[in-house]
Amino acid sequence: MLENHELHILRQLHHWRSAGQRAVLVTVVHTWGSSPRPPGSLMALCEDGHVAGSVSGGCVEQDLLERHIRDAGPDALWNACTPRLLTYGLSSEEAHRLGLPCGGTLQMLLEPNPDIDLLSQAIERLERGALVQRTVDIDSGAVQLHPVDHPLPLRFDGKIVAVPLGPAWRLLIIGAGDIAAYVANMALFNGFMVTVCDPRHAMLDGLDPNQVVLSNSMPDDAVRAFQPDGRSVVIALTHDPKLDDLALLEALYSPAFYVGAIGSKANAQKRHHRMTEHLGVEPQTMDRLHSPIGLPIGSKTPPEIAVSIMAEVLAARSLVRQQAQAQEATAPADVRAFPIPPSRTAPSAPQFYQRAAITEVDSVIDAIGAQCPIPILRAKRALNAMRHGDKLLVLATDSRSAQDFGLFAAQTGNTITQHFEDSSGVHHFFLTKGHGRATA
């Protein structure tokens, strides 16, 4: 499985220590002005000169090796029993010598020869996808690992350094295809834990379950199971509004910091009309949607499109980081931060009604005149609110409905018990709510 950056560093550090080599774990705990790496960045140095991770463009790493690691004297880090703080860039001469940006200063915590057992515990938790807070007492060198249920910023009070570890950033991709594969790869290398959802079983065959989490749930169910938080991304890449819109109906009301959907400007306008006029989504909520998705770099091929998507996602993530560090931070002109609506102001359930004239049916959706995929989207939302065995009648006039509803029933685990078209051209679809379909 492709490892996130900090897991790779800890694995390498554990390998060196297990082989009997001396090594140092370096953590950036504070920065002033411009700096090459943010607080929480990790680096491991081995006595043989090998390096994992970085805290600068390379000059600080080299200086650490030459002045502090390879030193064989009594003040060498190897002879220290407790961690030490080290600051680079206090003078303009030193900053220039080390290649630090103008005015940039780094304060780092250096831990000599970290305990192998504690490294093993941290690695095991990260491999499970858990979030961990690693605390270091600078005076005593004592290290503790604490489970946390949400991402936390690095904290340093002058005595205790609390470093967050784990897959704080998560990405849910709806639709498994060439673009999704490239996006997933890029996201993994940028520290995201990736889930790919596609109810079309064959589409998932090209993805490696050892690299990403795979799901064949319906998109709206997948978003709810994913439970997006303020460090999550949801992007829809199927080009099929029956699937993409289902995901967006859930994701737009979640705390996800980025929600996007692939498609041309014309398709984006159609989606906006469909979701506001027929599915009850408020225009201000639709403003959260990035569509067409990605930065406008003239991309045509799947790899180029993936680059444009991840560039916009990473720009949005940078904004989240800035806002977490300073509330007064402002967004770049082309990366907008929209307030997340606290709740739906439109009815959370679709607008279906009871018809006493129709017997043995619990609910009815009147989608007469609405074009596909609106009948299916409203049916799925209605079924989400119903119990097993409940019966739903959908009235539709779009000629494509018959084929689409057959596929829809197979994908969702619901049953079409009857279908007919009356003399006026209205299709009657009688559906029974099922238990749902097993997911990967």
In this structure, what CATH number is given to the domain that contains residue 396? Answer: 3.30.110.40
189: in domain: yes
pLDDT band at 79 (very low <50, low <70, confident <90, very high): low
At residue 70, the pLDDT reads 60
Could you report the per-residue pLDDT of 352-386, keeping only the tens digit for each?
Answer: 333 333 457 888 888 888 887 888 888 888 888 88
What pLDDT, on the 0 to 100 scale, is given for residue 61?
Answer: 76
Q: Is the pTM of this model over 0.85?
A: no
pLDDT, tens only, 282-320 = 999 999 999 999 999 999 899 999 999 999 999 999 888
Does residue 311 belong to any structural domain of this protein? yes
* Number of residues that make up the chain: 440
> Does a structural domain hold residue 354?
no
Rounded to whole angstroms, the Cα distance separating 29 from 134 reads: 13
Residue 57 has pLDDT above 70, yes or no: no
Which of 132, 165, 198 represents a domain boundary (last residue)? 165
Q: Domain check: are 66 and 127 in the same one?
A: yes
Q: Report the alpha-carbon distance of residue 207 to residue 303 in Å, rounded.
A: 16
In a shared domain, residues 153 and 230: no
> Is residue 246 predicted with pLDDT exceeding 70?
yes
The residue out of 278, 302, 325 marking a domain boundary is 325
Distance CA(312)–CA(290), nearest Å, equals 9
Quick one: 428 exposed, middle or buried, by C-beta within 10 A (0-12, 13-18, 19+)? middle
Task: Tell whether 370 and 309 lie within a shared domain.
Answer: no
Are 108 and 223 within one domain? no
Residues with a catalytic annotation lie at 372
Report yes or no: 43 and 23 within 8 Å, Cβ to Cβ.
no
Spatial neighbors of 20 by CB under 8 A, at least 6 apart, are none
In a domain, 230, yes or no: yes
The CATH number given to whatever domain includes residue 303 is 3.40.50.720
Asked if residue 218 and residue 152 are part of one domain, the reply reads: no
Clarify whether residues 142 and 240 are in a common domain: no
Same domain, 176 and 84: no
CB atoms within 10 A of CB 190: 15
What's the total number of domains in the chain? 3
Is residue 331 scored above 50 in pLDDT?
no
Q: Are residues 224 and 116 in the same domain?
A: no
Give the domain range for residue 276: 169-325
Q: How confident is the model over 94-143, as pLDDT tens digits?
A: 555 555 554 567 889 999 999 999 999 999 988 777 789 999 999 999 99
Q: Write down the residue that tokens 């140092």 correspond to.
A: 24
**Contact yes or no for 360/293 (Cβ under 8 A):** no
